[in-house]
Amino acid sequence: MELNEVIITRAIVDRFHAKFRDNLETDVAIVGGGPAGLVAGHFLASAGKKVVLYERKLSIGGGMWGGGMMFNEIVVQETALRLLDEFGVRCHKYEEGYYTSDSVETVACLIARAVQAGLTIFNCMSVEDVMMRTDRVIGLVLNWSSVEMAGIHVDPLTMRSRFVIDATGHATEVVKVVHKKVPGDLRTPTGKIEGEKSMWSDKAETLTLENTREIFPGLYVAGMAANATFGGPRMGAIFGGMMLSGEKVANDLLKRLEG
């Protein structure tokens, strides 16, 4: 049988549009495909929730690929080892309390397990705004990253979700939009974005978990975005806190969705 280029094209266009249409209304929408977003997506999808993730870049994985300063190994502390196990990532004990894993293997396993659990991922798509009602976030405003990068004026499209997770890392992009454009204060001490502080790994890893919560009705923060929102420090190339934060936001949302 001779391969037909038009059928190849039609297959891609039809399947993509069915996937996009099927995710216009979800339980949870995650912005950012770093470790926090992927782990959150995995646990929500595993529990049978409808969950979608949007990532601006071509590649999923956020800041994990590059390990520390492009040395492609990451460090994970004891408390998060069970998550490496859950995702099938092999790790090595470096010394008491410090474990390492290959960053490429870790990202690959997080993506594979999350997608196979039922998480739908759209890459090359940027979230440029939220959809709001009186004092509540109810969805996301989407555009192609290529539109954003070209700086051309093309109106976006919209999806609705019961909850949104800002897992955009240091940039806290969704929280920034909400703070600027949605009436009402953030649930931080000042009602504003407190801003990320300089490196303090131990404190940052603990605070990442504490700061993983609902920041505005309908909007949760997870991963580095949680610390940047609440004024926590950065932690560097130790990733246990990111994965634990993804697990925590998933568990909190499962309670909300089932409550």
Using the rule CB under 6 A, which residue among 239, 249, 252, 253 binds ligand 48F? 239
Q: Binding to ligand 48F (CB under 6 A): which residues in 208-237? A: 223-225, 234-235, 237
Alpha-carbon gap, residue 134 to 132, rounded angstroms: 7
Minimum CB–partner distance for residue 57 and ligand 48F (Å): 5
Using the rule CB under 6 A, which residue among 169, 218, 232, 233 binds ligand 48F? 169
Cα 139 to Cα 128, 147, 189, distances in angstroms:
11, 20, 25
Alpha-carbon gap, residue 128 to 5, rounded angstroms: 34
Compare residues 46 and 211 and give the one whose CB is closer to ligand 48F. 211
Alpha-carbon gap, residue 242 to 101, rounded angstroms: 15
Using the rule CB under 6 A, which residue among 28, 36, 109, 121 binds ligand 48F? 36
Asked if 219 contacts 229 with a C-beta cutoff of 8 angstroms, the reply is: no
Minimum CB–partner distance for residue 169 and ligand 48F (Å): 2
Q: Does 35 bind ligand 48F (CB under 6 A)?
A: yes
Cα-Cα-Cα-Cα dihedral sign, residues 79, 80, 84, 90: negative
Using the rule CB under 6 A, which residue among 23, 28, 32, 109 binds ligand 48F? 32
Q: Binding to ligand 48F (CB under 6 A): which residues in 88-127? A: 126-127
Instruction: Count Cα atoms within 13 angstroms, Cβ side, for 247.
Output: 16
Q: Does 168 bind ligand 48F (CB under 6 A)?
A: yes
Q: What are phi and psi of 51, to 5 degrees?
A: -140, 135
Using the rule CB under 6 A, which residue among 56, 113, 179, 248 binds ligand 48F? 56
**Residues forming the site for ligand 48F (CB under 6 A):** 31-37, 54-57, 62-64, 126-127, 167-171, 173, 223-225, 234-235, 237, 239, 242
